[in-house]
């Protein structure tokens, strides 16, 4: 007993220190980055720049919440970037090519995303294809469909059509406001709050967490596992579509593969969110904090004139660190 007693306190102290890092490491990192970037360039903490950071992470956060939902059932949706590209192309083309109103344009984009979610769900649930492999295949399929639909061209007002004429449709002025401050930030906040409430305070959200924790135990307890996996992928596709729609409103054009660059940041935000406040599971608030961390990194590095091609190194390192924390804790 006399030998064991001195040994136990250091182990507990070490565990507490790791728990502190696990719970608050992301928030601490954000605070440290703010201090460093503000000391380097005082304009970093000006209100305009802080609003710009929130605006810049809005689309990433919306898409990442969809990934968060798929992760909650122990899935992983890699097709969200392509779905965002497709919905971006569809909503702009509805205005420019077909002169449709805002309701038809948004409905068409979301309906197309639901078809993608249904395809992913069917192949994963019924055909038993692993989530990552199926959504990787879907990513390329939808990317090709979007390119075929737009014929590899940027869709915009007054564009030259295939017959040599100019497009006559115009983008709704109301739609144009969606991607502007403060609406783009408000949409992001509303999405985070709704997903947070859904996952943590509804029966269906708790069921998704049970499935993600132990699928077989969930099945034995009477939870319809397959139905919830289908719902998760459908919701993931819908949020990717919303991200693409907001992106379309922000830039007012449909660029080739416009949603693809958001995939890496969205995945990083969702996984960084696992460890925020010690959640240990995918959660909307943690995803938002992860997106904030990425946004601060990007903005601060740009203000420090770090070359754009080096930013992925930093983001990849942050993601690797977050994954190390998450999976070491789950061992």
Query: Residue range 134-156: average pLDDT?
Result: 95
Instruction: Output the pLDDT for position 1.
Output: 45
Read off the pLDDT band of 17 (50, 70, 90). confident
Q: How far is CA 63 from CA 79, 143, 183, 274, 290, in A?
A: 11, 16, 16, 16, 13
pLDDT at 53 over 60: yes
Would you say residue 253 lies in a domain? yes
Instruction: Output the pLDDT for position 21.
Output: 75
pLDDT at 14 over 70: no
Read off the pLDDT band of 8 (50, 70, 90). low
Tokens describing residue 5: 């007693």
Residue 274 CA to residue 129 CA, distance in Å, equals 25
Instruction: Output the pLDDT for position 329.
Output: 65
> How many structural domains compose the chain?
1
pLDDT at 193 over 80: yes
pLDDT tens digits along 195-214: 999 999 999 999 999 999 99
Instruction: Output the pLDDT for position 19.
Output: 78
Would you say residue 2 lies in a domain? no
Would you say residue 68 lies in a domain? yes
pTM: 0.92
Domain interval for residue 244: 41-330
Counting residues of the chain whose pLDDT is more than 70, the rounded percentage is 93
Question: Residue 267, SS3?
Answer: helix
Tokens describing residue 204: 């269906």
Instruction: Output the pLDDT for position 318.
Output: 76
Q: Identify whether the C-beta of residue 69 lies closer than 8 Å to the C-beta of residue 131.
A: no
Would you say residue 251 lies in a domain? yes
> Which segment, 17-31, 173-187, 295-309, is predicted with the most confidence on average?
173-187
pLDDT at 13 over 50: no
Question: Residue 162, SS3?
Answer: coil
Q: How far is CA 168 from CA 61, 103, 280, in A?
A: 34, 19, 52
Question: Residue 259, SS3?
Answer: coil
pLDDT tens digits along 58-100: 999 999 999 999 999 999 999 999 999 999 999 999 999 999 9
Would you say residue 230 lies in a domain? yes
Query: Residue range 187-198: average pLDDT?
Result: 98
Tokens describing residue 223: 């939870």
Would you say residue 23 lies in a domain? no
pLDDT tens digits along 118-139: 999 999 999 999 999 999 999 9
Would you say residue 22 lies in a domain? no
Instruction: Output the pLDDT for position 311.
Output: 81
Residue 240 CA to residue 246 CA, distance in Å, equals 10
Instruction: Output the pLDDT for position 331.
Output: 61
Out of 3-7, 104-108, 189-193, 301-305, pick the least confident. 3-7
Angle at 92 between CA 91 and CA 97, to 5 degrees: 110
Tokens describing residue 131: 């989530």
Residue 202 CA to residue 31 CA, distance in Å, equals 32
Tokens 């309701």 correspond to 103
Counting residues of the chain whose pLDDT is more than 90, the rounded percentage is 77
pLDDT tens digits along 163-172: 889 999 999 9
CATH number at residue 82: 1.10.3470
pLDDT at 220 over 50: yes
Query: Residue range 111-115: average pLDDT?
Result: 98
The DSSP line for 182-235 is THHHHHHHHHHHHHHHHHHHSHHHHHHHHHHH-HHHHHHTT--HHHHHHHHHHH
Instruction: Output the pLDDT for position 2.
Output: 46
pLDDT at 26 over 60: yes
Q: Whose CA is closest to 258, among 244, 246, 272, 270?
A: 244
Would you say residue 32 lies in a domain? no
């Amino acid at each position: 007993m006399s030998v064991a007693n001195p040994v136990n306190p250091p182990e507990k102290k070490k565990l507490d220190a790791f728990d502190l890092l696990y719970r608050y490491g992301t928030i601490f990192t954000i605070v440290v980055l703010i201090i460093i970037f503000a000391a380097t360039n005082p304009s970093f903490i000006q209100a305009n720049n802080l609003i710009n950071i929130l605006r810049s992470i809005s689309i990433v956060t919306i898409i990442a919440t969809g990934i968060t939902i798929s992760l909650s059932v122990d899935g992983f949706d890699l097709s969200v970037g392509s779905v965002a590209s497709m919905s971006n192309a569809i909503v702009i083309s509805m205005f420019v090519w077909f002169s449709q109103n805002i309701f038809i344009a948004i409905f068409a984009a979301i309906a197309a995303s639901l078809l993608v979610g249904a395809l992913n769900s069917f192949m994963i649930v019924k055909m038993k294809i692993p989530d990552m492999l199926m959504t990787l295949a879907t990513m390329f399929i939808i990317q090709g469909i979007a390119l075929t639909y737009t014929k590899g061209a940027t869709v915009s007002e007054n564009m030259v059509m295939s017959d040599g004429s100019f497009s006559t449709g115009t983008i709704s002025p109301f739609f144009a406001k969606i991607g502007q401050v403060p609406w783009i930030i408000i949409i992001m906040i509303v999405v985070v709050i709704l997903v947070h409430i859904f996952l943590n305070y509804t029966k269906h959200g708790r069921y998704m967490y049970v499935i993600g924790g132990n699928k077989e135990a969930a099945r034995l307890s009477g939870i319809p596992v397959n139905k919830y996996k289908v719902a998760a992928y459908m919701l993931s596709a819908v949020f990717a579509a919303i991200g693409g729609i907001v992106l379309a409103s922000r830039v007012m054009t449909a660029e080739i593969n416009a949603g693809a660059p958001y995939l890496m940041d969205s995945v990083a935000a969702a996984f960084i969110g696992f460890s925020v406040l010690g959640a240990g599971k995918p959660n909307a608030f943690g995803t938002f904090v992860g997106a904030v961390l990425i946004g601060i990194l990007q903005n601060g590095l740009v203000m420090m004139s770090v070359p754009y091609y080096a930013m992925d190194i930093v983001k990849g390192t942050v993601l690797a660190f977050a994954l190390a924390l998450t999976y070491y804790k789950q061992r």
